[in-house]
Structure 1
Amino acid sequence: MRAQIIDGKSIAARMRGTTRAEAEELAAMGWAPRLVSVSVGETAAAELYVRNQGRAAAQAGVEFETRCYPEAISLEQLSGVLAGLNADPRVNGIIIQRPLPAHIPVKALQKAVHPLKDVEGMHPASIGNIVYNDLALGPCTAVAAVEILKTLPLKPEGLVVTVIGHSEIVGKPIAFLMMGLGATVTVCHHMTRSVPMHSRAADAVFVAVGKPGLVTGEMIKPGAALIDIGINRIETPEGDRTVGDADFDSCAEVAGWITPVPGGVGPVTVSVLMQNAVLATRMQMEHYRATYTGAAE
């Protein structure tokens, strides 16, 4: 029996509806959520992300401003820009678009964003909180992948999970998020001796490596959930295509549920970003009230 395809777009739409209601509630209290997108230079990939984020923000009731700086801007100048945004109470969230020029280290910028405005969940404090099962503003892609799994009829308690890929912003956070839900988690990486041995034993597999076709049907336990986070452009006789890290056709013949690429994790990731924007706004409102009135609401 062929796998059920998980519709990330419908999950994202439901999330946006909830987010919009919360954004309208905050706006009525004078705290309309507002995001600022920071781009450096001109790249087609970043422009596409910005357009998608802008559309999602409009649907979620979140104000969205784009700022693009010249490629020659220095790290010091850009850090000053972020310091100004951190200090501006009208700005509730900051998004740093990638890719960045070689002379701008992304980690330095991620550290420069105030944790209360870190809607991407990339600040070391945001990622570190996950270890303590404190999911305030988590990394968007990791949270989206786990949210998708939670929509399936699989109890996370005791679930056997394999995460293929151990990046700081996707693989590792997914592992900690799933452990926080009570799952038993194995993380595979480039030094793992036998990835198929671990993936075939799992009730759910997450893959985020950046290698098209890495996971095949032979590597999946029959009836397991496969959450494919990879985004790769490949050339085919019919033209360029976007595919994930899994060989969709062979995996769909074995898995119980599978995310398509595109249309799976991607739309949910953008909805998590908007959800984080609203949560960040509420956290800032409560912080200001506690600081300047002496009582949080």
Structure 2
Amino acid sequence: MATRPSFFNNSIQGSVSVKVINGREISDNLIEEIGREIAIRVEQGHPRPGLAVVLVGDDPASAIYVRNKIRSAEKAGVSSVVKRLEQDCTQQELDEVVTELNARDDIHGILVQLPLPRHLSEDRILNLIDPDKDVDGFHPINAGLLASGQAKLIPCTPLGCLEILQREFGDLTGKHAVVVGRSNIVGKPMASLLLQADCTVSIVHSKSVAAESLCQQADILVAAAGVPELVTDKWVKPGAVVIDVGINATEIDGQRKLVGDVNFDDVAEKCRAITPVPGGVGPMTIASLIKNTLVAAKQLDAEPQAVGLR
């Protein structure tokens, strides 16, 4: 993939023409790249990457997420299997499914769809997944490797955010990035990735003093607090790039609507580029899952990664 000139080299003085980032288009491009590499690998005699998704219960939103993940996997040429368990399954039953998948040579990536029913332990099951097959990047071993700059399997949403930034804007060196939120799933790994991209990184959270003024200094603002439309134009420096990770279901004028952690209409008038909700980070999270599955297959096959897939 060719390196693009830095988007930030342009002056931010005067009027700002906002770019609405098309996450679906970037995701499609990444899936196509992965698919081409998988096709070459299969022709060379390597096993086709295999992804297993474990779904407990019948939550409609989880079922949609799983369907979208399987569809993207198939588009890229990844073989897939869905293991379905009843809502009232026991911890032992769930443990046994994951243990079986850990042992299967044809499965390179394992994902347990969250959230789980209350009677099941998410921490226990995430720790049970083989770290080499942990395509969600949530295992403590993978979290530690990421913090030390050695990770191969990275949480999908932060990985998708970084992919957007690097593909759209090129070199991020020296830019001030502010991450709103400190979760283990997005906030902390996002900060680690931005540090590794040579950004200067700040994290703000619910206990931060003067969070708004810190955000106003950001060249890159990543909103991942889980609070609907928390970030308004007062939080954003003119010409900043805003990545909205939030997906919040709200009711507006009697109709259900998905909104991000950013007030899009407010912020779009001030920033240089912004991801919409939906259609921004969401598709890239799924594409990053497929990328992680390929990385896991190559890692288990003891083959170094191709240059084109960071």
TM-score scaled to structure 1, two decimals? 0.94
CA distance in 2, matches of 1:131, 1:112: 21
1:280 aligns with 2:280: no
CA deviation map 1:168-194 (0-9, x unaligned): 110000101111111111101110011
Aligned counterpart, 1:31 = 47
Residues 147-296 of structure 1 aligned to structure 2 (within 5 Å): 147-153=163-169, 155-237=171-253, 239-286=255-302
Find the residue that maps to 1:162 and give its secondary structure: strand
Shift of 1:272: 0.5
Asked if structure 2 preserves the Cα contact closer than 8 Å seen for 1:248 and 1:260, the reply is yes
Counterpart of 1:19? 34
Which range is displaced more, 64-73 or 264-273?
Answer: 64-73
Q: Give me the CA root mean square deviation.
A: 1.3
| 1:97 equivalent among 113, 116, 133 | 113
1:72 to partner: Cα distance:
2.1
Q: How far did residue 50 of structure 1 move?
A: 1.0
Shift of 1:223: 0.2
| Structure 1: gaps of 5 or more residues | 288-297
3-state SS of paired residue (2:297): helix
Q: Give the match for residue 49 of structure 1.
A: 65
Q: C-alpha distance in 1, partners of 2:191/2:161?
A: 11
Q: What SS class does the counterpart of residue 301 from structure 2 fall into?
A: helix
TM-score by length of 2: 0.90
1:127 counterpart = 2:153: no
Return the letter of the residue paired with 1:209: A
> Counterparts of 2:18 and 2:241 in 1: how far apart (Å)?
9
Q: Which amino acid aligns with 2:98?
A: L
- Residue in 1 that maps onto 2:18: 3
SS of the equivalent of 2:115 reads: coil
Q: Which amino acid aligns with 2:218?
A: A
Three-state SS of the structure 2 residue aligned to 1:137 is coil
Cα deviation for residue 152 of structure 1 reads: 3.1
Per-residue deviation, 1:2: 4.0
> What's the offset of the Cα at 1:135?
3.0
Q: Distance in 1 between matches of 2:117 and 2:62?
A: 12
Amino acid at match of 2:222: F
SS of the aligned residue for 2:168 comes to coil
Q: How has the CA–CA distance of structure 1 residues 219 and 154 changed in structure 2, closer, same or farther, with 3 Å as cutoff?
A: farther
Task: Give the letter for the 1:283 counterpart.
Answer: Q
The answer on 1:61 being equivalent to 2:77 is yes
Identity %: 34
Tell me the SS of whatever aligns to 1:186.
strand
Count of residues in correspondence between the two structures: 287
